[in-house]
């Protein structure tokens, strides 16, 4: 639609945002580091460009947690994951 007067948009889709991943690290023994920082956000995807160019995807954020950490939904308090094994990962 490039040469059509008042043609439609030609921008590409934005990239996907990164995931927040929790990973068990047996070297970590406490959740004390999480006491003051309550919100973690992965990097957002880049905007799409002209000529239908797709934007770059965002980077994942990996949060290292001690073995035995339970991940719960902040609103419903529903258990999402119980991280019990070394190297275990969950996307939240």
For the full predicted model, state whether its pTM sits above 0.75.
no
- The tens digit of pLDDT for each residue in 38-66 reads 777 776 666 666 666 666 667 888 989 99
Domain that holds residue 74: 20-91
- Cα-based distances in Å from 60 to 8, 11, 43: 33, 25, 7
Q: Is residue 5 in a domain?
A: no
pLDDT category of residue 18 using cuts at 50, 70 and 90? confident
Q: Please indicate, yes or no, if residue 31 is contained in any of the structural domains.
A: yes
* Residue 11 resides in a domain: no
Residue 43 lies in a domain: yes
Domains of the chain: total: 1
Residues 83 and 92: their CA atoms lie apart, in Å, by 12
CATH number at residue 76: 2.70.210.12
């Amino acid at each position: 639609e490039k040469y059509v007067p008042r043609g439609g948009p030609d921008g590409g889709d934005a990239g996907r945002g990164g995931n927040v991943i929790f990973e068990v690290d047996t070297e970590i023994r406490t959740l004390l580091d999480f006491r003051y920082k309550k919100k973690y956000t992965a990097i957002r995807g880049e905007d799409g460009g002209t000529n239908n160019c797709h934007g770059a995807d965002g980077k994942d954020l990996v949060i290292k947690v001690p073995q035995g950490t339970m991940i719960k939904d902040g609103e419903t308090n529903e258990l999402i994951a119980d991280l019990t094994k070394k190297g275990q990962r969950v996307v939240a």
